[in-house]
Structure 1
Amino acid sequence: MNKVLISNIYKNNFEINSIITVCGWVRSRRTSKSGFSFISVYDGSCFHSIQVIANNVLSNYYEEILNLTIGCSVVITGNLTLSVGSQQKYEIKAKKIKILGWIKNPDTYPVSAKKHSLEYLREVAHLRSRTNLFGSIVRIRNSVLHSLHNFFYKNNYYWIPTPIITGLNAEGAGEMFRISTLDINCLPKNNNGFVDFKKDFFGQESFLTVSGQLNLETYACALSQVYTLGPTFRAENSNTSRHLSEFWMLEVESAFSNLNDILDFSEMMLKCIFQFVLDNCVSDIDFLKKNIDSNIFNRIEKLLLLDFIRIDYTEAIKILKNIEYNFKNPIFFGANLSSEHERYLVEKYFKMPVIITNYPKELKAFYMRLNNDNETVASMDLLLPGIGELIGGSQREERILILDKRLLELGLKKEDYWWYRDLRNYGTVLHSGFGMGFERLISYITGVSNIRDIIPFPRTVNSAKF
């Protein structure tokens, strides 16, 4: 069987009148009075479907082909021809159509041809990948993943698989998911009456990671340039359109680099990704332009031409305090910029991407390098219109005495971070890094605003379906 993907038909200029086999699912079927059926078949390999012309001389035409409905799985063998219609370039004149799977009850098929709301499709997440929208999101997501790995490879970065199971809270704050093999109905207790985690699987209290950064730094201090990309977990009781309990995070660490180095690198990385998407996802982006965001091409192309605005946190506070706008959250030096503040800066004030640097130390994690003013740290947040914060990073604190002081200030135990501190004792160097929420990046590219529609199976508060 000379099975081909529909994407390869459009890419490879197959010889006209060659006999090919396509496997896929029915998107639509219409029948003419002259004894022909026109069947639109897709296989998910690209946005395009291919039209199949079925003649009534086929042996199963009346018994099966005339009963095909959306969602039925089929194997089509026939001659590839140029289409006489204007809606598609190619079509297949069927010699044989084999039906692999029927839709048992077309009237109750959860993803029928009518338009469904995104809220409804989350309830049938096991089937929503069959829609045009989610097919496009997944193909774009895959292309971005490919472009990221390719970008880092070309820039001599090594991929490091950091652990998902950890005994540390990398951020020093926030809720974590505990993992355990202990019997919750009969928990062992120590002499103080607390749960005895020494009897647990790992011999200590363990969690799902909120970040691979600390582990990644150990390899940056040996291989110079490293990155990781994988799932991370946050147990915050947040039910907004911007938060997931399980999401993917890109994290980058570079030795012998300072804050300005990662500002330049993160901007270059994003522009490389956006260019790759525009070059390789045209059909999917065009569909999203017609159905989700009419400005999608202009928005991405504009970003490629701009140098991102860079301002200090202190300057950002001054701007926000001096404008007449009714913010819900107060503005003062030391205030944590909320989503409304960030989006005002990028969407109304500058109307372009903004990188804010040098936040007060009280707002940031213990590992960020203390500046000479002893009040701020060498940190950065990269903000995009429509999204807010996409990337957060910093120059890391490489001085052991100052790192120990920061741990003490935040109520963290030095002994818990003994191996992380060792990096400062054995050949310490300037090094910097950042993290980027992968789903937020895809949300910006696609224009799909709710992050639950960016990941195939969203995990959120009170929801771990499928």
Structure 2
Amino acid sequence: MSKQKRTKIKEVLSVGVSDKAVVKGWVRTKRQNKNVAFIALNDGSTIHNLQLVADPSTIGEDLLKLVTTGACISAEGQIVASQGSGQSVEMNVSTLEVLGSADPEKYPLQPKKHSMEFLREIAYLRPRTNTFGAIYRIRHAMIFAIHKFFNDKGFLNIHTPIITGSDAEGAGETFRVTSLDLENIPKNEAGEIDFKKDFFDKETNLTVSGQLEGELAAMALSEIYTFGPTFRAENSNTTRHLAEFWMIEPEVAFADLEDNMDLAEEMLKYLVSYALENCADDLAFLNQREIDEDKNKKAEDRNELCLLDRLKFVVDNDFVRITYTEAIDILRNSKPNKKKKFQYLIDGWGADLQSEHERFLVEKHFKKPVILSDYPKDIKSFYMRMNDDGKTVAAMDILFPGIGEIVGGSQREERYEKLVARMDEMNVPKDELWWYLDTRKFGTAPHSGYGLGFERMILFVTGMTNIRDVIPFPRTPGNAEF
């Protein structure tokens, strides 16, 4: 085969009829009779396959026998107008090389419908399916769009530590990091683990959030954002939880809660618009996939809006902004609550809202994305700014259809005495966070920030229903296989 440069299938399909090209990729299907073989080839650059038309007498029967589903091949030939339906152009193959064969008896991804559960078991191969190829291309587009959004607004990207000595959320569900010999753990005089003998001379864990360190950077650089992995050792096997996931966390000096809500709404609309404009083919495929799956569901389990309509719903609507107190009144007086249809009934003020409540507000009551603000202090974190009423904090959550909470944030407590009081109230160790408290002594300023769970965003944009299917290699209880 000649050393002509490879052309991506996406480019071949967009250029149309052209001179000779070389394409390389993985075989999805092959149909053959004695006169001709039709090979569907995909290289991951697009959801669409390129049809290769090969003459057995030219290419050779023995070589074509190796061209099976899953095999990796290189093909050279003329790009011509397609004779059949389903594609505008195809390649008349002149030469073909098998780069890597795939035993058709053992290759797990045969050209048929596979369950999501089965595909999770072969996560090393699932990127080769149409569904996961689409998800990973969209995931990449969203990564790029996030960086572009913040860069264009003058934010600086800050790398915050993955190994940390603090638990930003105070929940205690962290993965411990140690170099101690687990067969011979050193103990101190009190019989406790002697972390003085550990690598960092103290107890450390994987980070649950880059927020606290992000605040430090915002107190010098004004507008920053983090985009990094975060870890929670929460033994939760739900469709919305991962032990390792990615978070986007902007922190903005001189911003109050209203500014925080404005930034988050602008960012979410930007990301969804970017997906609609730049991922049209993949979204069209996932939209049709969802419509087909809905046909097999009970009427009450079907999506009220299709995927593309849900995305447009976010872009086309101003988000409704209400307080937690107003939301509680709506929920308490709602039909599902009065008829005891909610799994968690709303009795009164102070209840921690569940996903069913959040989705009711978005999907049934307002029929728009919702920003809830001013939550009871007792159900929120120590760093959130106390409101003048002494009962609520300047917190905000953004709720989306199908997802519930997608963004959580707050104005941060910049007043030293009030922050200390909250830490004492919630038993947050001040000695571990002395550096965080110091920023309230040395040039403190009002500031705000929020966190966007990246995988939850990808769940929304792709229409997938399980968070394990929007990250390449999910980490969940009992699962760190690949």
TM bracket, shorter-chain basis: over 0.9
SS in 1 for 2:392: coil
Q: Does residue 348 of structure 1 match 2:364?
A: yes
Query: Taking structure 1 as reference, are residues 229 and 118 closer, same or farther at Cα in structure 2, changes over 3 Å only?
Result: same
Inter-partner Cα distance in structure 2 for 1:186 and 1:150: 49
Matching residue of 1:9: 12
Matching residue of 1:310: 321
The residue type paired with residue 330 of structure 1 is L
SS in 2 for 1:380: strand
Matching residue of 2:158: 160
Matching residue of 1:21: 22
Query: Taking structure 1 as reference, are residues 25 and 386 closer, same or farther at Cα in structure 2, changes over 3 Å only?
Result: same
Aligned-pair distance for 1:413? 2.0
Identity %: 49
Inter-partner Cα distance in structure 2 for 1:432 and 1:241: 30
1:385-404 correspondence runs (5 A): 385-404=401-420
Q: Is the 8 A contact 2:66 2:98 kept in 1?
A: no
The residue type paired with residue 159 of structure 1 is N
SS in 1 for 2:266: helix
The residue type paired with residue 28 of structure 1 is T
Q: Is the 8 A contact 1:293 1:447 kept in 2?
A: no
SS in 2 for 1:304: helix
The total of aligned residue pairs comes to 461
Q: Does residue 53 of structure 1 match 2:19?
A: no
Aligned-pair distance for 1:96? 0.6
Inter-partner Cα distance in structure 2 for 1:137 and 1:170: 31
Inter-partner Cα distance in structure 2 for 1:425 and 1:88: 66
Structure 2: which 5+ residue stretches go unaligned? 293-305
Q: Does residue 330 of structure 1 match 2:331?
A: no
What TM-score comes out, normalization by structure 1 length? 0.97
Inter-partner Cα distance in structure 1 for 2:164 and 2:388: 33
1:421-436 correspondence runs (5 A): 421-436=437-452
Q: Is the 8 A contact 2:75 2:97 kept in 1?
A: yes
Inter-partner Cα distance in structure 2 for 1:151 and 1:232: 21
Q: Is the 8 A contact 1:244 1:451 kept in 2?
A: yes
Inter-partner Cα distance in structure 2 for 1:146 and 1:283: 18
The residue type paired with residue 232 of structure 2 is R
Matching residue of 1:200: 198
Matching residue of 1:228: 226
Q: Is the 8 A contact 1:248 1:438 kept in 2?
A: yes
Query: Which shows bigger deviation, 341-350 or 201-210?
Result: 341-350
The Cα offsets for residues 193-234 of structure 1, whole Å up to 9 and x where unpaired, read as 100001001110000000000001111111111111111001
Alignment match of 2:284 (pick from 275, 283, 286):
286
Inter-partner Cα distance in structure 2 for 1:159 and 1:9: 36
Inter-partner Cα distance in structure 1 for 2:395 and 2:345: 22
Aligned-pair distance for 1:111? 1.2
Inter-partner Cα distance in structure 2 for 1:352 and 1:107: 50
Q: Is the 8 A contact 2:310 2:401 kept in 1?
A: no
Query: Which shows bigger deviation, 369-378 or 338-347?
Result: 338-347
Alignment match of 1:258 (pick from 253, 256, 259):
256
Q: Is the 8 A contact 1:30 1:38 kept in 2?
A: yes
Matching residue of 2:477: 461
Q: Is the 8 A contact 2:56 2:64 kept in 1?
A: no
What TM-score comes out, normalization by structure 2 length? 0.94
Query: Taking structure 1 as reference, are residues 219 and 293 closer, same or farther at Cα in structure 2, changes over 3 Å only?
Result: farther
Inter-partner Cα distance in structure 2 for 1:217 and 1:57: 68
Matching residue of 1:405: 421
Instruction: Please tell me the root mean square deviation across aligned C-alpha atoms, in Å.
Output: 1.2
Aligned-pair distance for 1:67? 4.2
Query: Which shows bigger deviation, 118-127 or 344-353?
Result: 344-353
The residue type paired with residue 363 of structure 2 is E
Aligned-pair distance for 1:184? 1.1
